[in-house]
Amino acid sequence: MAPPVSKSDKFYTVYKGRVDKPTIYSSWSQAHPRVIECEGAEHKKWDTLEDACKAMKDRGFEDVDIFVKKSAETKIVSLRKDKYYAVAGGKTTRVFTSWEDAKEAINRTTACQECFSTKQEAEEFIENWKDAYADVWRRAIRQGLNEGWKARDMSLNIGSFLLRENDNERLKEDGHEMVKTAQNELPKIEQLSVKEDNQE
């Protein structure tokens, strides 16, 4: 049984995507890496967990995973009317207090974003997105290992497949061309392959 959740939470049914089977998530930050830029992905947002479960059953899915991310036990309640804009996977990944700045980070990207009334909630949203993004990579790696792939070595150059903030601008200034210029775009994991060395 899923843990209790806030009435303000939304739920996301992921029918097809970077998942092993149909799954319900309680946060867009968890669903986003599993469907964005994934060919053939199908997902939908619902107001209640009951609606999401019913939608799964209506489509004939009985064996469904449900991931309800519980919020932090302690939340800082602010009497101010501040807004915090969480942007993950945009031109930069961070919390903004200005919508204009957030829009600039989101523009022309596949960013995952949401507005919150406290900074703590916005930061938690981004951390959840990072965890989900890492889970997608972990799933792809495990699948490869199950199929007999092996690591060339145990060193990992993370810069070979992830960009840091402003990397694109530096590359452009140096005169290099890139196929895609939007920073932190999701990798096309379904197209990843590992080429093994020929063994004698």
66-112 per-position pLDDT tens digit: 988 765 433 444 455 789 999 999 999 999 999 999 999 999 999 99
**What span, in angstroms and rounded, lies between the C-alpha atoms of 186 and 38?**
9
Name which residue leads in pLDDT, 189 or 158: 158
pLDDT of residue 6: 41
Q: Return the amino acid letter for 187.
A: P
Cβ(60)–Cβ(103) below 8 Å: no
Check residue 198 and give left, alpha or beta (phi > 0: left; psi -120 to 50: alpha). Answer: beta
Closest Cα to residue 27, out of 69, 90, 59? 69
**What span, in angstroms and rounded, lies between the C-alpha atoms of 107 and 181?**
12
Write down the pTM of the prediction.
0.67
Q: What digits encode the pLDDT tens for the residues 33-74?
A: 999 999 999 999 999 999 999 999 999 998 899 988 765 433
Q: What digits encode the pLDDT tens for the residues 119-160?
A: 999 999 999 999 999 999 999 989 898 998 887 766 777 777
pLDDT of residue 49: 92
Residues with Cβ within 8 Å of 199's Cβ and at least 6 positions away in sequence, in order, are none
